[in-house]
Structure 1
Amino acid sequence: MFRYADKSSGLLFSSQGLSDLTAKLAKRLRDEVESIDANRLLNTAPADLAAYLAEKYRLDPPALRRDEWSAEESETKIDVSGDQNRWISDRSRPFYVPGQRIDVEVPFDGDPELFYVRPNQFSLSPPRAAVRGRSLLLSFEIPHEQERDVRSETDRSLAEIEQNLSRIRGEADQYNRSLPYEAETAVSNRRARLLTNQGRVAALGIPLKKRAGAPSTYAMPDVRRRIVPTLPPAASVPYEPEPVLDAEHYEHVLSVVQNMVQVMERSPSSFAHMGEEALRDHFLVQLNGQFEGRATGETFNAGGKTDVLLRENGRNVFIAECKFWKGPKHYAETIDQLLGYSSWRDAKTAILVFNRGTSTSTVLDGVRERTEAHQYWKRTVDWKHESGFRYVFHHPGDRNRELTVTVLVFDVPSPSSTG
């Protein structure tokens, strides 16, 4: 993080200001994004890269583990030449007397360098202590003929240190909360510029000459502050943009699918005896009414036949699997099936779970637990829905090829409920 604080005086919280430090770290984050090889950046999942940067540049303020403190004492010689209450004939030289040294050691967690950073609110008489590895050391030297209340002095010093750490934590927390947005913005801005540049070059229709010495890989700089996640792996081959279903159209497809709930509610007896294929066909009718017949069922794609496939200009833009709920294990197999069907260009997918006779909350709990335990699950998206979830998976063959999977649970009428 920084290594130029003056530590020789023993003064804590008296080096550079924390606000100056956070500004420098934010700039380093942006500079690192700009320094990453273009293809390396474009081939890395943006969310993964932003998460890596936010973690790398976050601050980790120290927290004292006072319940684990300890003390050690030893005999020593103490130079009292500066003590004006003593008669000393020659103060130009050290004058030693017998004494005792007491060291109070307090372990801590966090970044030791932050003991030297000055919070916005600070004292002109900062506390003194030494940082030794992962411990804070308060030392007291007492001439043999003097009495000192070391415990009171220790408590007072630690109270001052805790007060400064509390101020630093408040400022650091605010900075840390800003990092995800800072990282996402930096990555997004550079990606947008690179893709715009690619578009201009493609419009030329002239083969590009490869620059001599262009990097084929990107080496992550050494991070000495603490252990941090490594830069997400990605290929350094030339990046080729791929067509995907944009978010607005994806939501529209899902809204068409969800409209089937109203159809089933209006005519429950019509759906009470239907199996998976018959129900799927009703969804296809709805989709083809909106997308001019471009939705198909039981279509071969990648590793098998998918239940619902929506194609646009020869590209697969939406894939869905329709399954009755038969327990968590069967649902997990459906995830594998969907990922096996999806080629690298399929970024928007869905699993439609038909529930007949099981408590909806039981199904939703099973979906959540099995999904987040899946080996290719990356994260859960904050998507508010009463009977569904949204997740991001990575393709089995490439962690940077992300697939959005929306899981919707539909309660299907049963024969007994319709009389």
Structure 2
Amino acid sequence: MALISIFRVQDASSTFRNYLKEITDEINNKSNDYILNVNKSEFKQYIENKYDFTPLTVYSEQATVKFIGKRKIKKEQHGTEYESETYRFELSVPYVGSYFLFFLSPSTRLMHHPNVNVPSLDSGNLTAEFELYEQNEQQFEYNKNDLLKGITGNVTNINNDLQKFKAEIVSTFENTFERKKEKVLSENSFFEKLNIHINKKTDTIFKVPIASKRIIPEPIVDKKTTKKYTETPAMDDAFYSDIIEVIYTFFKSVEKKPSIFKNKDEEGLRDYVLPTLEIRYDNSTVTGETFNKNGKTDILIKYKDGTNLFVAECKYWKGEGILHDTINQLFDRYLTWRDSKVSIIFFVSNKEFSKVLKTMQESIPKHEYFVRENGSNGESSFSYIFHFPTDKEKFIYAEIMAFHFPE
């Protein structure tokens, strides 16, 4: 995490110009054969993916403030020096988007650049401190809102610059590629007129490199089911594991931040993880409180064609009874036959967290839909296989997680 004067470390215009020069150089440095034989559309898509930065979204309405301590300072009044105490606070604001954009100074900007801690991730929480010199509620609100204004004030400006840059990527590619191709064709024509042999390997296949992105693939056939005649759209196991890891890691982090989970209900806690899931995967939409079958699911990830990929339900732990009730609610009311990857997330306020985990592990195999255990993904994240309520040959992969948010 870096403490920076936000939106002023380096110039956005020059940064984006340097990226455009990189694109130009990459195209011009390709061999003549490559330019003549490569699939232009694929090459263009590769370039766009390589520089596909995500615009910033700062969730100021979810900002939290916590008291972090006092500080003694020396003051002077009427020639007399004395000590006074100040009150120090930390503002925390969730965000998603390419974090490096916080380092850039937009072409049009507000001249308000507070010092902010920015994590080296494309989602998380920005943190910044402010200080109060007296017990004054109005001054507290003013300082907090002024800091929020400094954090959010240039978000739209830098996103506008980013959109212009993305448009320039397309025009830069088109112009550079066509100029390079025309030059190659012109040279080939010249040498042919001189009766100088040109090596024409038109059957050469040039593979376009793949820019690394988190992409949900096309739904695959679920081969776990014993019904060979069915083709069930399902999420790839690797992406299911990634979603489970993201949720588990996210809420483990929240466990360390009482200012986030204190006095929050299931919906309030769920809303904190949605932005992280929204930006992590291409070709998908992530929603909360969405109708599916006969009820509303807490978290629903859909493929771009509308296929359900992942369903999750969030609950506060209220004893062993809530466990079976939640499984019944999820499986009987929310799941369709084509839903195969699910999770139940419990928020536990009990002091004896280990006792709750033991109760969960002992109780789950007693459920009527239970098939078998399927390993674990952490101290409080357990994998199971259940069957669909009306079809014992249709398997449902369920991750049951618990997180400790003591009162």
Band the TM-score falls in, shorter-chain normalisation? 0.3 to 0.5
Higher gyration radius (CA):
1
| TM-score, normalised by the number of residues in structure 2 | 0.42
| TM-score, normalised by the number of residues in structure 1 | 0.41
More strand by share: 2
